[in-house]
Structure 1
Amino acid sequence: MYTFMGLGGQELLIIFIALGVFTLLPIIALVDVIRSDFRGSNDKLIWVLVILFLNLIGALLYLIIGRNQRIA
C-alpha cells in the first residue's frame, strides 16, 4: 500500500480536494469580479479587497451576494 508521510490514498485525496477549493474558488471569484461591471463606482475594488483579505469566506460572500450587484 502506498503512503506518503504516513498518509494513505484517501487522506491525500481529501487534502488535495481541500487545497483545490481553498485556491481555485478565490481565483475564480477574482476573475469574475475583474471581468464584471458593477452599479457602484467602488464596488469592484471593495469586492477584490474582500476576496483577497478573507480568501475563501470572501469568495463565498461574493458568489452569494456580490454577483447580484453586477450590471447584467
Structure 2
Amino acid sequence: MTLSFIQNIGGASLIFFLLFGILYTIFWIYCLVDILRSEFKDPNMKIIWIVILLFAQGIGPIVYLAMGKSTKTTYSS
C-alpha cells in the first residue's frame, strides 16, 4: 500500500513533503532547545512544555511559540 502510494507521487510533491518534513524537524528541535535553555516562572512549566511538544506533534511548537513567552521569567539587568 505505502509503496504504491510513493510510486504514484510526482517528483515535485515528493520534494515538497521532504522539504516540509525537514523544516518542521528543525522548527521542533529549535523549540525543544529553547524550552531546555529557558527559565520559567513555575518550575513545572518546563516539563509541561516538553510533554506538550512531544504529544501534540502538529501544533505543539506553534502553541509554545505563541504562549510560551508569557510563562518565562524575565531578567532585568
CA distance in 2, matches of 1:67, 1:21: 22
Contact persistence 1:34–1:44 (CA under 8 A)? yes
Identical-pair percentage: 32
CA distance in 2, matches of 1:10, 1:59: 27
**Structure 2 match to 1:30:** 32
Task: Indicate the SS of the match to 1:56.
Answer: coil
How many correspondences in the alignment? 69
TM-score by length of 2: 0.74
CA distance in 2, matches of 1:31, 1:46: 14
The unaligned stretches of length 5 or more in structure 2 are 1-5
Kindly provide the CA deviation profile for residues 7-55 of structure 1, in whole angstroms up to 9, marking residues without a partner as x: 4442222111221233222211111000000001201010000001112
**Structure 2 match to 1:47:** 49
Q: Aligned letter for 2:61?
A: A
The unaligned stretches of length 5 or more in structure 1 are none
TM-score by length of 1: 0.78
Aligned CA-pair RMSD = 1.8
